[in-house]
């Protein structure tokens, strides 16, 4: 290296400017995250540039810091819930209308997923449907009407744990299906097992509603046939 080269001054580059600005910001008490957000450089570079500077004093007390964190968490949860509401609202609108055929197919699949099914070793050809979601029950009622099942053939019974609010559950389900409590069949009480840790407790727990269709052997056999028809027409699964 020549004397001329040794004596030549080094020209400043972009990193020099970033380094000086990072040191200024650190001197103002900025955190690594804040410096990175403003300058767009890595935290490892920032740490290297400012490691000789004293650590800035905390700008918030522990109580203030917790309050800020809780506020940030609250805003995050609100934004997340708003996104969920938007997705649900958009999906709701995507359904558009519901034809009788679409309701028919929905009902067949719903029954095969949630209804009582006859077994080869114990033929029970009777339409019995059990669910804890009142909206599911309402769709099932609409499906029965579509099939032409007379209302007086449809019976309802509450099934619930003995530790729950049984009269309250009976009123809830009677209102949900548009009948009177006195017209419900005798409630089925599930005995409480103290060794079981149940999560279906509290004011929102109302047990399940059992929907029984009288003289329904023919309807049940048709359901079996409808379902087998759907399965036969379903696309071949990917392999």
- List, for residues 145-181, the tens digit of each pLDDT value: 999 999 999 999 999 998 889 999 999 999 999 999 9
Give a yes or no: residue 183 inside a domain. yes
H or E element that contains 136: helix 134-147
Does the pLDDT of residue 200 top 70, yes or no? no
- Token pair 């080869």 is found at 120
Does the pLDDT of residue 60 top 80, yes or no? no
Amino acid 91: pLDDT: 95
Give a yes or no: residue 49 inside a domain. no
- CATH number of 180's domain: 3.30.1330
Q: How confident is the model at residue 183 (pLDDT cuts 50, 70, 90)?
A: very high
Does the pLDDT of residue 217 top 90, yes or no? yes
Give a yes or no: residue 125 inside a domain. yes
Contact present, 208 and 130 (Cβ < 8 Å):
yes
Amino acid 206: pLDDT: 93
User: What integer is the mean pLDDT of 125-154?
Assistant: 96
Helices 43-50 and 32-39 cross at an angle (nearest 10°) of 110
Contact present, 148 and 130 (Cβ < 8 Å):
no
Give a yes or no: residue 145 inside a domain. yes
Give a yes or no: residue 189 inside a domain. yes
Give exposure, 79-103, as e/b (b: 16+ Cβ within 10 Å).
eeeeeeeeeeeeeeeeeeeeeeeeb
DSSP conformational letter for 229: H
Q: Which residues contact 147 (CB under 8 A, 6 or more apart)?
A: 107, 219
Range of the domain at 165: 100-233
Does the pLDDT of residue 15 top 60, yes or no? yes
- Total domains present in the chain: 1
Give a yes or no: residue 72 inside a domain. no
3-state secondary structure of 134: helix
Q: Comparing C-alpha atoms, which of 162, 117, 163, 144 is closest to residue 211? A: 144
Does the pLDDT of residue 6 top 70, yes or no? no
Q: How confident is the model at residue 133 (pLDDT cuts 50, 70, 90)?
A: very high
Q: How confident is the model at residue 136 (pLDDT cuts 50, 70, 90)?
A: very high
Give a yes or no: residue 223 inside a domain. yes
Q: How confident is the model at residue 53 (pLDDT cuts 50, 70, 90)?
A: confident
Q: Give residue-wise pLDDT tens across range 206-215.
A: 999 999 999 9
Per the model's pLDDT, the better-predicted residue between 140 and 125 turns out to be 140
Predicted TM-score of the model (pTM): 0.69
Amino acid 31: pLDDT: 85
């Amino acid at each position: 290296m020549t004397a001329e080269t040794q004596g030549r001054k080094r020209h400043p580059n972009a990193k020099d400017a970033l380094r000086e600005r990072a040191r200024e910001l650190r001197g103002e008490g900025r955190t690594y995250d804040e410096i990175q957000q403003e300058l767009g450089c890595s935290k490892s570079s920032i740490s290297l540039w400012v490691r000789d500077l004293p650590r800035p004093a905390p700008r918030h007390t522990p109580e203030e810091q917790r309050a800020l964190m809780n506020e940030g968490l609250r805003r995050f949860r609100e934004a997340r819930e708003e996104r969920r509401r938007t997705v649900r609202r958009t999906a709701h609108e995507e359904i558009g209308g519901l034809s009788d055929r679409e309701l028919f197919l929905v009902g067949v699949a719903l029954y095969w997923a949630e209804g009582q099914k006859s077994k080869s070793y114990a033929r029970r050809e009777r339409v019995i449907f059990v669910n804890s979601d009142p909206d599911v029950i309402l769709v099932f009622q609409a499906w029965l009407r579509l099939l032409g099942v007379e209302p007086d053939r449809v019976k309802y019974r509450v099934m619930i744990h003995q530790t729950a609010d049984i009269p309250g559950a009976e009123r809830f389900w009677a209102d949900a299906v548009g009948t009177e409590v006195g017209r419900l069949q005798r409630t089925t009480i599930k005995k409480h097992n103290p060794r079981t840790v149940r999560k279906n407790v509290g004011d929102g727990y109302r047990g399940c509603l059992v929907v029984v269709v009288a003289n329904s052997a023919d309807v049940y056999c048709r359901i079996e046939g409808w379902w087998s028809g759907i399965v036969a027409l379903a696309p071949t699964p990917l392999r």
